[in-house]
Amino acid sequence: MQISSRWTCQVNPAGHASPEVISTRHLQSSKVPSSRIGRLFHYGSLAASLGYGAAFEMVRRTTSAQEQTSSVMMTEANIKRFVSKLSQMRGAALKLGQFMSIQDTHVLPPDIDKIFRRVQDAAHYMPDWQMEKVMASSLGPDWASNFTSFDRIPFAAASIGQVHRAELAPAVSPTGKAEPVAVKIQFPNIAHSIESDLGYIKLLLTAGRLLPKGLFLDKTIQVMGEELADECNYIREAEFLRRFGSPEFLGNDPRFKVPWVWEGSTKSILVMERVNGVSVGEADQHSLSVTDRNDIGSWILELCIKELFEFRMMQTDPNWTNFLWNPHTRQIELVDFGATRTYSKEFMDDWLHLLLAAASEDRGACIDASLKLGYLMGEENEAMLDAHVQSMVLLATPFKASTKQPFAFGPNTLWTDITADIRAQIPVMLQHRLTPPPRETYSLNRKLSGAFLLASRLGSVIDTKQIWDGVTQKYTFSSS
């Protein structure tokens, strides 16, 4: 269903709602398949339609004199079918696409990468009756009494939920007055469909042997399932919001704004203070001054380093819509903590040892730290060792003592050459890797890659060594 307007539910003291129609952008809604049988039916129909599309392409090619070297499965028509179905299904399959597409590493075959990139922000939203059912089951049949207004059409939809604008009623507001809020509503039964969804999508991806074995898809899916299960618990996310907003973390840092959380939030409904910034990825680059672009890139990179080595707690989803820039307050507003991970002191000790070894280009220490972390097994050939060490040394380039500061990101810079060199190592590692990366590094590397990508997009010029030293020189290793 295509929607070309939205209506806001104004709730008067008697509890009656009066709709106010407001023009908005075109959005698309569809029922979220919530039963296991229903989701299996949809994945089965996708497999059938992909097979039909491949068969049609084979017939077309037999009657064409033009040489065809691309896959008959990954035609443009089949890619559209794949994207459309993942957008409708939401849940783990869509999250896997976002998970695997956020890094600019070119590890995926181009056709698969194209699918995952298209679904990053392609989720549908629930029809009104289904949203109403979720709200009533979580907050009670009189849920609307908590709000003086509630926008029935969401302004954002992602893999596990959608977000609505609303105004919290004074009687339940933490300030005692009506407050603008964002209401995140989880899709029904998404948490219970994670394992089966990932199993279905694995079958679709492996049927045509389209992915290299070095990706260790089984491990990726296992980690993805565990992380997604955490993200489906909004009580957990609310707790991380409170922790990041506390004085011990970011509460006293004027560069960042962490919204407050409504105490009435539940496992499937999260209500938080609504902020006014725009996505750092969508902000008009021409409207940002050089100072703004440098500050945004610098502050987000510093936050990443502090999350690792000071907090040992990181919001690991680097999607640019999670970071909003408010030009009036000159703050970065942080709005999504569902993907927050914590790290043990032992792991972080070993991880920092690896980065320090890479920054000093100490091959032996780099291999030793990688063995301890589980990147390597000790039986790798020289080609794999060389590629692994070289990729780590390249990644640590911004933090080397010999690197000229401030460090420029963006096109036609040293960083452009570094990313190209890292990509050149990937085919070797995919061919010779003997073990998947450590579990903790899946999300950690995703966030670091995202921070570097954002700095590149903004063309930020950052004193990366000063940021690195300012955080890591205060780090205390555990005694051996």
Q: What are phi and psi of 149, to 5 degrees?
A: -155, 150
Segment holding 144, helix H or strand E: none
Q: Sign of torsion, CA 302 308 311 317?
A: positive
Q: Where are the alpha helices (DSSP H) in 63-150?
A: 76-89, 91-101, 110-118, 128-139
- Give the least confident one: 52-66, 150-164, 262-276: 52-66
Quote the Cα angle for 128-133-137, to 5°. 150
Instruction: Name every residue whose Cβ is closer than 8 Å to that of residue 127 and which is 6 or more positions away in sequence.
Output: 1, 29, 30, 31
Cα→Cα distances 394→322, 359, 400, 416, 421, Å: 27, 8, 10, 11, 8
Provide mean pLDDT across the span 24-48: 53
Copy the structure tokens of residue 328: 């009036």
Quote the Cα angle for 19-21-27, to 5°. 115
Please report the pLDDT score of residue 44 as a whole number: 53
What pTM does this model have?
A: 0.79
More confident residue, 61 or 429: 429
- Residue-wise pLDDT for 446-455, tens only, equals 888 889 988 9
Please report the pLDDT score of residue 67 as a whole number: 45
Provide mean pLDDT across the span 311-327: 91
Instruction: Name every residue whose Cβ is closer than 8 Å to that of residue 326 and which is 6 or more positions away in sequence.
Output: 257, 275, 276, 277, 332, 333
Residue 54 DSSP SS3: helix
d(CA 217, CA 211): 8
Instruction: Name every residue whose Cβ is closer than 8 Å to that of residue 123 and which is 6 or more positions away in sequence.
Output: 87, 90, 94, 157, 158, 159, 162
More confident residue, 69 or 177: 177
Q: Is the pLDDT of residue 213 over 90?
A: no
Q: Which of 111, 292, 295, 317 is catalytic?
A: 317
Q: What is the DSSP letter of 164?
A: E
Please report the pLDDT score of residue 111 as a whole number: 55
* Mean pLDDT comparison of 97-106, 245-254, 413-422, highest-scoring range: 245-254
More confident residue, 122 or 408: 408
Residue that has been written with the tokens 């969401």 in this structure: 154
What share of the chain in percent tops pLDDT 90?
52
- Residue-wise pLDDT for 386-433, tens only, equals 999 999 999 999 999 999 999 999 889 999 999 889 888 888 998 899
- Give the least confident one: 48-57, 124-133, 161-170, 318-327: 48-57
Is residue 350 annotated as part of the catalytic site, yes or no? no
